[in-house]
Structure formats: C-alpha cells, structure tokens
Amino acid sequence: MNTQSIDQALEDLAEIRSSLNRAETFRGYRSASILATSVMAWFGCLLQSRWVPSESAELGDFLTFWIRIGLFCAVLIFGEVLVRYWRSGPMFRHMTRSAVGPMIPALLSGLALTVVIAGAAPEVGWMLPGLWAMVYGLGVAASARFLPKLVSIVALYFVLCGLVCIALSARGWAYSPWLMGVSFGGGQMLTAAILYWSLERGE
C-alpha cells in the first residue's frame, strides 16, 4: 500500500469518525429556549432586587420567588424537548433518553436538598443558591458526553459559580438576587451561545 492510499484511508476514517460524532450529539436543546431561560433569570434578578431586597429577604420568600421562575424555565426547556421527542423517530427518542436521563438524578437531588433544608435546617438556607448551581453543573457534566464538547465549560462554570455563591453568601450576600443572575443567567447564556455556535450556526 503506497503513501497516497494510506493518506486516503486516514482521511476516510476521520470523516467516518466525524459523522459518528455528529450522529451521537443530542440536538434536542435549542439555543433560543435556553437563551430565554437566561433572560428569565436576569429578569428575576431585577424583580427580586425591587420586590424582595436581600437585606430583608427570608428563605420562604426567596424560595417562593425562584422556584416559580425555575419551574417556568424547566417547562420551557423540557417542554420543547418533549414535543420534539413525540414528533421524532426511534433514534432521536433514544438520544433524548441518553442525554436527558443523566440530568434527572442531579435535578432530583437539588429538589431534595431544597425540601430538606427548608424543612429541617432553614438556618443554612443561604447555601441553596450555591448548592443549586453546583448540582446543576454536575447534571450538565453527566450529560456532556451527548452534547457539544464545549458544554463541559458550562458544567465547570456552574460548579465554580456554586462555590463562589456559597463563599459570598457566608460574607453577607445571602439571598442576593445577583448570585442567581450571575450563576444561572450567565450559565444559560453561555450554554445558548455554545449550542448556537456548535450545532445551529450552519443549519
């Protein structure tokens, strides 16, 4: 086998690998809906700063406010995924289960943390914004195998934001709306940019 044949075989293998990688990338999340959740997080940040000032905020007010926004965002993202799931064939449904499934334990863990802390240890409720960001980041990391490679940066962003939120909350920033804005608003904005650049730009 001559050098030209070897080079051609290597190019063919690279093309096959590229095609397999594209086939294994989940395309159910769309940048527009992810960006909309970022806007909602920043909007919630501004609303809380007007209606529930951090210096007078209590855990109950904080949870009521942000859980409503979180539920709206979840319906927006996963509602779109479910619609695409039911309208698509077996391959897309398999990819949806593979990509979304790893996030479910993280989301349930975040819910369990919220319920337990609110019910049994409200005095440490100031840690929740940081814990939410870290748990969400771990969920993103668990799904990263089926998403564009740059999504790993998003997972790292959320985990680091979670640590920073806990550190700042312990120093007087407890229940500050800006913690939620920077962590979730910024993280979702970064996610939308990566999805658009990696998956949708050439469509």
- What are the tens digits of pLDDT across the range 83-131? 988 988 888 888 898 889 999 999 999 999 999 999 999 999 999 999 9
Q: How many helices (H) and strands (E) does the chain have?
A: 9, 0
Closest alpha carbon to 193 in 136, 153, 146: 153
Closest alpha carbon to 66 in 83, 51, 88: 51
Q: Give the count of beta carbons closer than 10 Å to the beta carbon of residue 96.
A: 20
The answer to whether 129 and 180 have CB atoms below 8 angstroms apart is: yes
Which pTM does this prediction carry?
0.84
For the stretch 125-163, pLDDT in tens is 999 999 999 999 999 999 998 999 899 999 999 999 999
End-to-end CA, the chain? 39
Q: How many residues does this entry show for the chain?
A: 203
Each domain of the chain, given as residue ranges in start order, spans 29-198
d(C-alpha 70, C-alpha 186), whole Å: 15
